[in-house]
Amino acid sequence: MQKILVARPIFPDVIDRLKQYVDVDWNNGETLSAEALKARLADKDGAITMGDPIDASTFAAAPRLRVVSNMAVGYNNFDMAAFDAANVLGTNTPDVLNETTADFGWALMMAAARRVTESEHYLRAGKWQKWSFDMFLGADVHGATLGVIGMGRIGQALARRARGFNMRVIYHNRSRVAPEIERELNAEYRAKEDLLKQADHVVLVLPYTPENHHTIGAAELALMKPTATLTNIARGGIVDDAALAQALRERRIASAGLDVFEGEPSVHPALLEVDNVVLTPHIASASDATRRAMANLAADNLIAGLGLGPRAGQPPNAINPGVIGKARA
Ligand code: DGY
**Closest ligand 1 atom to 92 CA:** 2
Is 149:195 a contact under the CB 8 Å cutoff? Answer: yes
Predicted confidence at residue 328, as pLDDT, reads 97
Listed in sequence order, the residues at least 6 apart from 286 whose beta carbon sits closer than 8 Å to its beta carbon are 100, 104
**Closest ligand 1 atom to 282 CA:** 5
Predicted confidence at residue 55, as pLDDT, reads 98
Q: b/e per residue, 220-238, with b = 16+ CB within 10 A?
A: bbebbbebbbbbbbbbbbb
pLDDT digits (tens, 9 = 90+) for 240-279: 999 999 999 999 999 999 999 999 999 999 999 999 999 9
Share of the chain above pLDDT 70, in %: 100
DSSP 49-91: ESS--B-HHHHHH-TT--EEEESSS--TTB-HHHHHHHT-EEE
Calculate how far, in angstroms, residue 282's C-alpha sits from the geometric centre of ligand 1: 8
Predicted confidence at residue 19, as pLDDT, reads 98
User: Is residue 165 packed enough to be buried (19+ CB in 10 Å), middle (13-18) or exposed (0-12)?
Assistant: middle
In 210-292, which ranges are E strands? 229-232, 255-258, 277-279
Predicted confidence at residue 271, as pLDDT, reads 98
Q: Which amino acid is at 205?
A: V
Q: Please, which pLDDT band fits residue 298 given cuts at 50, 70 and 90?
A: very high
Predicted confidence at residue 86, as pLDDT, reads 98
pLDDT digits (tens, 9 = 90+) for 98-107: 999 999 999 9
Please say whether the dihedral angle defined by the alpha carbons of residues 201, 226, 195 and 213, taken in this order, is positive or negative.
negative
Cα distances (Å, whole numbers) of residue 10 to 34, 71, 115: 19, 10, 34
Is 97:285 a contact under the CB 8 Å cutoff? Answer: yes
Is 256:279 a contact under the CB 8 Å cutoff? Answer: no
Calculate how far, in angstroms, residue 317's C-alpha sits from the geometric centre of ligand 1: 15
Q: Please, which pLDDT band fits residue 210 given cuts at 50, 70 and 90?
A: very high
**Closest ligand 1 atom to 235 CA:** 5
Q: Whose CA is nearest to atom 4 of ligand 1?
A: 72
Residues lining ligand 1, Cβ inside 6 A:
51, 72-74, 97, 285
- Mean per-residue pLDDT for 42-57? 98
Q: Please, which pLDDT band fits residue 31 given cuts at 50, 70 and 90?
A: very high
**Closest ligand 1 atom to 72 CA:** 2
Is 51:29 a contact under the CB 8 Å cutoff? Answer: no
Calculate how far, in angstroms, residue 97's C-alpha sits from the geometric centre of ligand 1: 8
Q: Whose CA is nearest to atom 6 of ligand 1?
A: 72
For ligand 1, pick from 70, 285, 317 the residue to mutate: most ligand atoms within 8 Å of CB: 285
Calculate how far, in angstroms, residue 45's C-alpha sits from the geometric centre of ligand 1: 24
Calculate how far, in angstroms, residue 174's C-alpha sits from the geometric centre of ligand 1: 20
For ligand 1, pick from 49, 52, 73 the residue to mutate: most ligand atoms within 8 Å of CB: 73
Q: Please, which pLDDT band fits residue 213 given cuts at 50, 70 and 90?
A: very high
User: Is residue 270 packed enough to be buried (19+ CB in 10 Å), middle (13-18) or exposed (0-12)?
Assistant: middle
Calculate how far, in angstroms, residue 127's C-alpha sits from the geometric centre of ligand 1: 37
Is 91:301 a contact under the CB 8 Å cutoff? Answer: yes
Q: Whose CA is nearest to atom 1 of ligand 1?
A: 72
pLDDT digits (tens, 9 = 90+) for 155-200: 999 999 999 999 999 999 999 999 999 999 999 999 999 999 999 9
Structural element, H or E, at residue 145: strand 145-149
Predicted confidence at residue 263, as pLDDT, reads 95
Is the peptide bond preceding residue 9 cis, with omega within 30 degrees of 0?
no
Q: Whose CA is nearest to atom 7 of ligand 1?
A: 72
Name the residues annotated as catalytic: 235, 264, 282
pLDDT digits (tens, 9 = 90+) for 224-233: 999 999 999 9
Q: Which amino acid is at 317?
A: N
Listed in sequence order, the residues at least 6 apart from 272 whose beta carbon sits closer than 8 Å to its beta carbon are 279
Give the angle subtended at the CA of 270 by the CAs of 264 and 271, to the nearest 5°.
60
Is 18:309 a contact under the CB 8 Å cutoff? Answer: no
Q: Measured between alpha carbons, how far is 200 from 224 in angstroms, rounded to an integer?
A: 8
Share of the chain above pLDDT 90, in %: 100
Q: Which domains does the chain have, with CATH numbers?
A: 3-96+288-323 (3.40.50.720), 98-279 (3.40.50.720)
Average pLDDT, the chain: 98
**Closest ligand 1 atom to 51 CA:** 7
For ligand 1, pick from 31, 97, 290, 317 the residue to mutate: most ligand atoms within 8 Å of CB: 97
